[in-house]
Amino acid sequence: MSEWDERYLHAHESGSLLFPPAPTPTVVEALDHVTLASPRPSAIDVGAGEGRHSFELARRGFSVTALEGSQVAVGKARERARLVAADARALAADVRTRAAAEAPAPQAAGSAEGRIEWVAGDVRRWEPSSPVDLVLVAFLHQAEFTVTGLMPRLSSWVAQGGWLLLVGHSRAQADRDVSGPKDPARLWDPTDVAESMRRSGLDVVEARDVEHPRGGDGSGQSGDWAVDAVCLARRPRAGSS
């Protein structure tokens, strides 16, 4: 069993998730800058874990391939998806019972879940059937590889006019008491990430550090604020200058 399988299994046996169920605010904010012309956009969530960002992408209308290396995490994500769908059906039934015709119906999370394909696979070997409109890589900090080393592969999954969004723990927080790897080699430098994006043929739109109040001791003191590296790039369309 892999290290990540063990970590997910330990969390699930204790009745909890390994990571918070809600999408990371930094990811949500960055996604607001992604504009798409396709009425049915497609996305790959790399290192999807228990699905917190996959659900957010589906909520935004994407057809999502949730790629995760841990079989345990994929199983938990599928279980969460079934629960979300069941809650949505119950909510829809309650709305009909109350005959709330004057109020807009809430978005059915179950239908969003139906737009997610859960895939157990290694990002270093798995390949999509075709390029997609958005590739999201959120907090992928592995000892075995780096995101800059994966950049040629990740960028090849992006369709013309599509986006590559990377959000992760920044090297700027290496000496802070916050969550994330303590080894600086596993943290991200947005300048390095942006340069690897350019070398892979992408146009970099944003590459910066974002501080947010997530102190390791919950104090919220500025010295303990976490720092996320946010890097957004787009593949130019053929013939564009």
- pLDDT for 223 equals 56
Q: Which residue has the higher pLDDT, 235 or 80?
A: 235
Residue 147 domain-assigned (yes or no)? yes
- Give 3-state DSSP helix, strand, coil % of the chain, rounded to 5: 35, 25, 40
Range of the domain at 178: 22-68+116-235
Strands lying side by side in the sheet with 63-68: 116-120, 63-68, 42-46, 132-138, 158-169, 226-234, 203-212
Residue 93 domain-assigned (yes or no)? no
Residue 3 domain-assigned (yes or no)? no
pLDDT (average), residues 177-186: 84
Half-sphere CA count of 163, side-chain side, radius 13 A = 24
User: Other C-beta atoms within 10 Å of 13: how many?
Assistant: 8
26-30, 78-82, 180-184, 237-241: least confident range:
237-241
Q: How far is 176 from 74, CA to CA, in rounded Å?
A: 31
pLDDT (average), residues 23-46: 92
The CATH number for 45's domain is 3.40.50.150
Has residue 6 got a pLDDT over 70?
A: yes
- pLDDT for 216 equals 42
Q: How confident is the model at residue 240 (pLDDT cuts 50, 70, 90)?
A: low
Q: How far is 59 from 168, CA to CA, in rounded Å?
A: 22
Residue 30 domain-assigned (yes or no)? yes
In tens, the pLDDT along 114-137 reads: 689 999 999 999 999 999 999 999
Q: Taking CA 231 as the corner, what is the angle to CA 41 and CA 150, rounded to the nearest 5 degrees?
A: 80
Arithmetic mean of pLDDT over the chain: 85
Residue 206 domain-assigned (yes or no)? yes
Residue 167 domain-assigned (yes or no)? yes
Structure tokens at 70: 């841990």
Residue 16 domain-assigned (yes or no)? no
Domain count for the chain: 1
Residue 100 domain-assigned (yes or no)? no
Has residue 207 got a pLDDT over 60?
A: yes
